[in-house]
């Protein structure tokens, strides 16, 4: 996030192996949690790319800054609005699953329209290093038809509603944690809101490791493990 390359690299150094362990656990013990288990790993990769953005900027390698910041924004615009609602899909009862798939599809459409125009308009993504922060700014396609606040609100709805409406209490708690990050970002980090939000959500993703290990315990079975097989 903000702060420094050291902070971003440190976050990546913890999240990447933690995510790998979570994926292994879910694959062996409870594959319904597999999509969810990828989230800490993905957050770790995003933090790694932000650390590389810091480093490339310090070296004056602005081509590398553009490349790493594009990789960072891939997670911000495409991975999170697709993967977060999708990760709830296999954990929900059959009668509710289609709702979360709709959110994932909506997130993919929203994210693609924000991310892919960067390839056609190089000046649309503007990366600025502030004091202890990176600001990812510029233009997104929806700026041509609506206020940025509306686009941001739709983005947050796509991410938060699947978590907050989940039938699993653990995912509702994660949704509340991410909502807390949104509030803190809005109040204190508006100058670098993308970086601050993604870092805060990355920190909160450690809670998902607990959720995965709790949900994949063979004995005793928790109430969250009683799901109908579709």
Number of domains forming the structure of the chain: 1
Alpha helices in the chain (DSSP H): 5-29, 34-58, 62-74, 80-88, 94-115, 117-120, 148-164, 169-188, 193-204, 206-215
Phi, psi of 65 (to 5 degrees): -60, -45
Q: What's residue 218's pLDDT?
A: 65
Q: What's residue 228's pLDDT?
A: 52
Alpha-carbon distance of 200 to 212, in angstroms, equals 20
Task: Look at residues 138, 17, 11, 1 and name the one whose alpha carbon lies nearest to residue 66.
Answer: 138
- Is residue 230 domain-resident? no
- Is residue 51 domain-resident? yes
- Is residue 212 domain-resident? yes
- Is residue 73 domain-resident? yes
The answer to whether 181 and 106 have CB atoms below 8 angstroms apart is no
Alpha-carbon distance of 105 to 107, in angstroms, equals 5
Q: What's residue 1's pLDDT?
A: 47
Q: What's residue 227's pLDDT?
A: 54
Q: What's residue 108's pLDDT?
A: 95
- Is residue 229 domain-resident? no
- Is residue 128 domain-resident? yes
| pTM metric for this prediction | 0.89
The CATH number given to whatever domain includes residue 87 is: 1.20.1070
- Is residue 125 domain-resident? yes
Alpha-carbon distance of 167 to 144, in angstroms, equals 37
Q: Would you write out the chain's pLDDT as a tens digit for each of its 230 residues?
A: 457 888 899 999 999 999 999 999 999 988 999 999 999 999 999 999 999 999 999 899 999 999 999 999 999 999 999 999 999 999 998 888 888 999 999 999 999 999 999 998 888 999 988 877 789 988 888 888 888 889 999 999 999 999 999 999 999 999 999 999 999 988 888 878 888 888 899 999 999 999 999 887 764 444 455 555 56
Q: Could you list the residue range(s) of the whole structural domain that residue 107 is in?
A: 5-224
Q: What's residue 221's pLDDT?
A: 44
Q: What's residue 104's pLDDT?
A: 95
The answer to whether 81 and 111 have CB atoms below 8 angstroms apart is yes
């Amino acid at each position: 996030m903000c702060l420094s390359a050291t902070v971003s690299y440190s976050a990546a150094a913890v999240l990447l192996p933690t995510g790998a362990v979570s994926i292994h656990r879910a694959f062996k013990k409870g594959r319904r949690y597999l999509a969810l288990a990828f989230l800490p790993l993905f957050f770790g990769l995003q933090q790694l790319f932000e650390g590389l953005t810091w480093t490339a900027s310090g070296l004056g390698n602005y081509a590398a800054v553009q490349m790493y910041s594009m990789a960072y924004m891939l997670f911000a615009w495409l991975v999170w609005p697709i993967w977060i609602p999708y990760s709830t899909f296999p954990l929900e009862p059959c009668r509710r699953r289609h709702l979360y798939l709709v959110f994932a599809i909506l997130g993919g459409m929203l994210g693609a329209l924000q991310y892919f125009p960067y390839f056609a308009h190089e000046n649309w993504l503007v990366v600025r290093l502030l004091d202890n922060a990176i600001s990812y700014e510029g233009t997104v396609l929806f700026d041509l038809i609506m206020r940025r606040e509306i686009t941001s609100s739709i983005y947050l709805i796509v991410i938060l509603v699947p978590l907050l409406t989940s039938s699993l209490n653990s995912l509702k708690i994660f949704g509340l944690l991410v909502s807390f990050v949104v509030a803190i970002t809005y109040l204190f980090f508006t100058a670098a809101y993308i970086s601050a939000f993604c870092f805060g959500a990355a920190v909160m993703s450690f809670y998902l490791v607990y959720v995965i290990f709790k949900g994949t315990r063979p004995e005793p079975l928790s109430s969250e493990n009683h799901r109908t097989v579709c």
